[in-house]
Amino acid sequence: MDKHYYIKHIEKATAPLSKVSIDDIQLTDEKLDITKYETLFMTSGYSGGKFMWKDIILKTKQGFYLFIRRHSLHKTIIDVDIYYRQEQHNELLIFIKPFVNLLTK
């Protein structure tokens, strides 16, 4: 999949970002508390009396960008792309295992 235009915008302002992808994660909203991250971009829909996000870009405290996509608005299957500066690779290795465990448990 092509990079989201918001990620391209970040790269223009900073430098090219590396990416790691995690596909087909079964998610419930309780597993991912988006309030723990800075929300940079969101596409959402309104259904069943509440807003649900479809695509969201979050920024972590470490400076990683999480691009999370639901397969459809009502589905709990997501894909995650984590964008990072190459010099953050070691830090990413520390971040990714607990993050994946959070999403998959």
Residue type, 1: M
Structural domains of the chain in order of their starting residue, each with its CATH number: 5-104 (3.30.310)
| Residue 65 CB burial class (10 angstroms; 0-12, 13-18, ≥19) | buried
SS (H, E, C) the chain: CCCCHHHHHHHHHCCCCEEEEEEEEECCCCCCCHHHCEEEEEEEEEECCEEEEEEEEEECCCCCEEEEEECCCCCCEEEEEEEECHHHHHHHHHHHHHHHHHHHC
* Selected residue with higher pLDDT from 38 and 35: 38
Q: What is the pTM of this model?
A: 0.87
* Selected residue with higher pLDDT from 32 and 39: 39
Residue 82 predicted with pLDDT over 80: yes
Mean pLDDT, rounded, for 66-87: 87
